[in-house]
Amino acid sequence: MLITCIVLAVSFFLGRCSSGSRGGEVLHGGTTVTVPPVSVDTVYVPQPCDTVFVPVPGRVDTSRVINDYYLQKIYRDTVFVAVNTGAGRDSARAILTDTIYQNGIAGREVNFTFYPKRLVRDNSVGLLSTFGYHNLTIMAEYRYRMMKMYVGYNLIDHAPVAGVGFQIFSW
């Protein structure tokens, strides 16, 4: 008797687990009936584990809260960074723009600009030549910032040459 009850209970549970929820054919009253598969469209939404009531501090303007909820707020944050590279001290700027709508982030944008330090030399030495009618000059040049000083020798006239120059603009 006990074994019969156990076999019936096991067959009952096995029958429940293998019901027609997966679809297929079932024998019902001597005729075969096709059962469509059951689609599950339930989405699990996690619930908070605890809820704490916080009293409202004073009077609250409900229409102001609702208007504020539907405002689109844009926040910008500018970050400057100085980077020490092998060529010198470069800098970069990042502008972060967040758009907040209905208490959530509706959009995010990042603009990044890199400013490399240009190689600027204060001193330089050069060798140059000029030539023309009765003129073949070889000169040495010393440049300090925007000033240039020339010293050379004219090979045709056999005369020394000297000069001073000033840089007006550069590109």
Do 127 and 91 have their domain in common?
no
Is 162 inside any structural domain?
yes
Is 40 inside any structural domain?
no
Inform me whether the pLDDT recorded for 35 exceeds 70.
no
The confidence score (pLDDT) of residue 72 equals 92
Is 93 inside any structural domain?
yes
Is 36 inside any structural domain?
no
Q: Which domain holds residue 153?
A: 123-166
Determine the Cα–Cα distance for residues 20 and 14; give it in Å rounded to an integer.
12
pTM given for the model: 0.36
- 8 or 22: whose pLDDT is higher? 8
The confidence score (pLDDT) of residue 93 equals 87
Do 96 and 129 have their domain in common?
no
Is 45 inside any structural domain?
no
Q: What is the mean pLDDT of residues 48-54?
A: 80
pLDDT classification of 21: cutoffs 50, 70, 90: very low
**Structure tokens given for 144:** 């300090």
The confidence score (pLDDT) of residue 16 equals 55
Is 138 inside any structural domain?
yes
Q: What percent of the chain has pLDDT over 70?
A: 68
Do 108 and 133 have their domain in common?
no
Do 107 and 128 have their domain in common?
no
Is 102 inside any structural domain?
yes
> Which ranges of the chain does DSSP label H, i.e. alpha helix?
2-17, 62-69
Q: Nearest to residue 125, comparing CAs of 148, 153, 102, 109?
A: 148
* Count of the separate structural domains present in the chain: 2
State the DSSP code for 2: H
> What's the length of the chain?
171
Is 18 inside any structural domain?
no
**Structure tokens given for 51:** 């809820």
Inform me whether the pLDDT recorded for 31 exceeds 90.
no
